[in-house]
Chains A and B, each alone.
Chain A
C-alpha cells in the first residue's frame, strides 16, 4: 500500500435537509489523497450526516460528492469503496473475529486461500492475530475496535471513514488507539475522514480540521492554524480555552475594553470606529508584568491551579470579569499567592483576536 493509491474526495456545495430542518448547509471541502481530515464540532452540528453523505448512505439534497474527480452521487457505499468504522464498531455478533474480517472479502468473491491469507495479515496488522477464533463479545472495547478497523481495511477501501471511533474507550486506551490508527493511516496512505467532538483528538490526529457549527463549516485549517488564528469566535472558543472580553473598536490598532483598559491589537479585519467587538486572548498568551502601565490589566489572584508543567491562575480584573492565565512552571520558582495583586498584558497584539460582538 502506497500513497499513489490515495484517493481524493471533494464535496461541492453539499446541503442536506431532513424534512424542514437543514442538517448541513453549503459544505465545500477538498480532501487530498492520503490526507486525514477531522470533522470537529459540537453534538448535532451535522458531522455524522456529512459522513453518511460521503459514504453514500444518505443522498444529499443539493450539491455533489466527487471521488477522484468523478461524481459519486449515484454510487452505493460499496461502489464508492468506502471503509467505515462505526461508533459502536458494528461487529457481527454471531461471527468470530476471523469471520468478521473475512466477510467483506467473501462478498468480493475472493478465493478461500486468499481470504485466509488476507485475514491473517490484517489481524496481524492490528495485533489481533491470536484472537481470530473469539466472538466479538469476548473482546474489550479497544480490541473490538481493532477488529472493526481490520475488517474495513481488509477490502482495501479508497477512503476510510471513522465516526467517533474512540468515543467508547477510556482515556488511556483512547490515546493508544489514536496513535495506532494514525500509524495505520500513515502506513497505508489511505485518505481518511474522522468525525469527532473531541478537540484534542482532532488536534493530535488530523492533517487538517474542519470545525463545524450548526451545519456549516466555520473554518478549515491545519491544527495550529485553527488554534493560533481562529477565524470566528466559535472556533476560538470551541478549540482550546480562551478569555473573552467585550469592548469597542477605536481604530485600526486598539480596542477600548468595557472596564477601562485600551488594548493594542492587530486584527485581520478592520471594523468601523465604535463597532462593538469581543477580544479573545488565550490563557498562555497573557504575561505577568512587573508594574502597571498602558494596556496592562490590574488583577487579583483568586485561584491557583498547579497543573504539573504549568500553573493556571484565575484572576479577577478590578471592576471587570475574571481571566484565566497559564504560566509555565519552573521547579525552583514559587507559586504566586491568592490575593496578590498582579499586572497582566497580552504577549503581543497578534495574540489578541478580535471578533464582531454578536
Chain B
C-alpha cells in the first residue's frame, strides 16, 4: 500500500517537474517573441516596452530601408542555395550511411553531425582562417558553403529517420518486379523519404537564415546578412525597424511552419 502510494507521488511530482519545465521553456520562448511583436507595433519613435500606442508605421518604414532589404535579400539568397546544397548532400550522405553498417560510415555520420555539436563560432573562425590561407575573400558561394556545413546535419537526421522507417521489402519488391536501381530510387525511395528530406530542408533554411556565428566571419559589407545587420542596428541606434523586421520574420516563419505541417507533417518527420 505504502509502496504504491509512493509511486503515485513520484509519478505526480515527475509530472509537476516536467510541466513546470515546459511552462518555463514556453515562457522563455513565447514571451520574448510576443514582446518583439508588440514592440514592433509601437507608434512611438523609440524601442520601448510596453508601447505607448499601436501603429503599423515601422512596417511601412521597412519598405524604404534599403540596406536592411539588401541584407534580407542576401540572407534569402544564401539560405536558398544553402538549403539546396544541404538537401542534396544530406540526402546523399543519409542514403550512404543507412545502407552501410561499416564503422567507417558511423564515423562519417559523426563527422557530418559535428558542426551541430562544435561551437559554430569556432567553426566560423576556422573557416575564415582557412579561406584566408587559400587567398579567397568572402563571397556568396563561400557563405553558402559555410552555411551548408552547419545545415547538413538537419537534413541528415530527418532523412536518416525516414529511411529507417522505409520497409526494405518495398525495395526488394521493386527490384523483383524488374525495376533498376535508379527507377527504384526515383519511384519508391524518394517519394517515401521525401517528407523527411522536406522537413530537413525546412530546418536547414531556417538555420541558415538566422545564422550569426558563421556569417559573422564569412560575410563582409557587400554580403552583409540580415541577422548581423539587425544586430548592428540595435547596437548603434536602437532602430525600431529592427523590431518590425523581426516581427516580419516571426510571422513569415509561422506561416511557413503551418504550411509545412499541413503538407508534410513537419513534426512527424522530426523523430
Q: Which residues of A contact B (CB under 8 A)?
A: 55, 57, 76-78, 82-84, 86-88, 90, 92-94, 103-104, 107-108, 151-152, 155
CB nearest to A80 among chain B residues: B176
Q: Which of B169, B178, B187, B191 contacts A90 (CB 8 A)?
A: B169
Q: Does B177 contact A (CB under 8 A)?
A: yes
Q: Which of A55, A92, A107 contacts B178 (CB 8 A)?
A: A107
Q: Across the interface, do A55 and B176 meet the contact criterion of CB distance under 8 Å?
A: yes
CB nearest to A94 among chain B residues: B191
Q: Does B252 contact A (CB under 8 A)?
A: no
Contact residues in A for B173 (Cβ distance below 8 Å) = 84, 86, 90, 92, 151
Q: Does B223 contact A (CB under 8 A)?
A: no
Q: Across the interface, do B191 and A84 meet the contact criterion of CB distance under 8 Å?
A: no
Q: Across the interface, do A155 and B192 meet the contact criterion of CB distance under 8 Å?
A: no
Q: Across the interface, do A103 and B174 meet the contact criterion of CB distance under 8 Å?
A: yes
Chain B binding surface, main DSSP class: helix
Question: What are 9 A-to-B residue pairs whose CB atoms are below 8 Å?
Answer: A76-B175, A78-B178, A86-B169, A87-B169, A88-B169, A90-B169, A93-B170, A104-B179, A107-B177
Q: How many residues of B contact A (CB 8 A)?
A: 17
Q: Smallest Cβ distance from B198 to chain A, in angstroms?
A: 14
Contact residues in A for B180 (Cβ distance below 8 Å) = 107
Q: Type the 1/0 row for B164-191, where 1 means its CB is closer than 8 Å to any CB of A.
A: 0001011011111111100100011001
CB nearest to B194 among chain A residues: A94
Q: Which residues of B contact A (CB under 8 A)?
A: 167, 169-170, 172-180, 183, 187-188, 191-192
Contact residues in A for B179 (Cβ distance below 8 Å) = 78, 103-104, 107
Q: Smallest Cβ distance from A203 to chain B, in angstroms?
A: 27
CB nearest to B168 among chain A residues: A90
Contact residues in B for A88 (Cβ distance below 8 Å) = 167, 169
In whole angstroms, how far apart are the Cα atoms of A103 and B167 in the complex?
17
Q: Which of A84, A94, A103, A107 contacts B172 (CB 8 A)?
A: A84
In whole angstroms, how far apart are the Cα atoms of A88 and B174 in the complex?
14
Contact residues in B for A57 (Cβ distance below 8 Å) = 172
Most A CB within 10 A of own CB, among B173, B174, B176, B178: B176
Q: Across the interface, do A92 and B188 meet the contact criterion of CB distance under 8 Å?
A: yes
Most B CB within 10 A of own CB, among A57, A76, A90, A152: A90
Q: Across the interface, do A108 and B172 meet the contact criterion of CB distance under 8 Å?
A: no
Contact residues in B for A78 (Cβ distance below 8 Å) = 175-179
Q: Across the interface, do B177 and A152 meet the contact criterion of CB distance under 8 Å?
A: yes
Contact residues in A for B183 (Cβ distance below 8 Å) = 107
CB nearest to A151 among chain B residues: B177
